[in-house]
Amino acid sequence: MSDEFKFRTIIKTERLLLSPISLTDADDTFHIRSFREIYQWTIAGQWTLKSQATEWITTNLANPSSYNFSITLLPTDLSDATEKPLVIGSIGSARGEEIGYMFHPDYWGRGYATEALIGFIKTYFEKLPHAEFLLAKTDVSNKASRRVLEKVGFVHIEDEIFENPTLGPSPAIVYEIRRPKREEESTTKSNSDSRVYT
C-alpha cells in the first residue's frame, strides 16, 4: 500500500493536481527554492545548485517513509496563465510523519496551500491505514503557514528551538493532526472534493 501511495497515487482537488514527485521536477523545485521567502523557512537553507534539487528528490524517492508530491494547476487554471512554472509547489512527508509544503510566491494568497493540504492529509490516512498522526513544524514568525495549518485542523502541541540555517536559532511551533475517527473519516471521504487515482 505504501508503494502505491508513494509512486502511483494522483490526488485531484478542485483546482490542483498532486502527482508523485520525480526527477523531472528538479528544475521547477530548484526554481521555487531559489526565493529567499521560501528557503528561509527550510531546514536545508539556500540551494545554489540544481544538483541539490536532484539529490533531494533522489533521497526522497529512496526513502520508504517519504511521500512527496509535486503540485500543478488543473488545465482550467492553466488556460489563462503565461510564463508560469509548470510545478507551482510541492507537498509531502519527507521525514516520516512530518509534513512540509512550499509554493512559488506568485501563487500565494489563493488558498492553494489549504486545498493541497486537505487533499494530501485525507489521502495519507486513507492509503496508510496504520498511520495515526501527522506533524508539522513552523517558525513562530511564519504566520501565513501557521494560519494554514490551523485552518485545516492542526493543533499546537509543543514549542522548540529550530536551528535555522538562514535566520539562526528560532522559536518554532510543533503542530499535530490525528487520524479522523472512523465514522468521521467516512463522512469526510463522502463529502470531500478531492479525488484519488492510482
DSSP letter for each residue of 43-79: SS----SHHHHHHHHHHHHH-TT-EEEEEEE-HHHHT
Q: Is residue 12 part of a domain?
A: yes
Q: Is residue 173 part of a domain?
A: no
DSSP 122-146: HHHHHH-TT--EEEEEEETT-HHHH
Q: Is residue 91 part of a domain?
A: yes
Residue-wise pLDDT tens digits, 141-192: 999 999 999 999 999 999 999 888 888 999 999 999 999 986 555 555 545 5
Residue-wise pLDDT tens digits, 33-75: 999 999 999 988 899 999 999 999 999 999 998 999 999 998 7
Domain count, the chain: 1
pTM: 0.85
Q: Is residue 153 part of a domain?
A: no
Cα 129 from Cα 96, distance rounded (Å):
15
Counted residue by residue, the chain has a size of 198
Supply the CATH number for residue 72's domain: 3.40.630.30
Asked whether 119 and 16 are in contact (CB, 8 A), the reply is yes
Q: Is residue 54 part of a domain?
A: yes
At position 101, the amino acid (one-letter code) is Y
At position 134, the amino acid (one-letter code) is L
CA angle 3, 6, 8 (to 5 degrees): 80
Q: Is residue 141 part of a domain?
A: no
Structural domain harbouring 69: 2-130+181-197
CA 122 vs CA 46, 168, 192: distances in Å? 31, 34, 9
Q: Is residue 51 part of a domain?
A: yes
Residue matched to cell numbers 523557512: 41
Asked whether 11 and 69 are in contact (CB, 8 A), the reply is yes
Q: Is residue 163 part of a domain?
A: no
Asked whether 69 and 10 are in contact (CB, 8 A), the reply is no
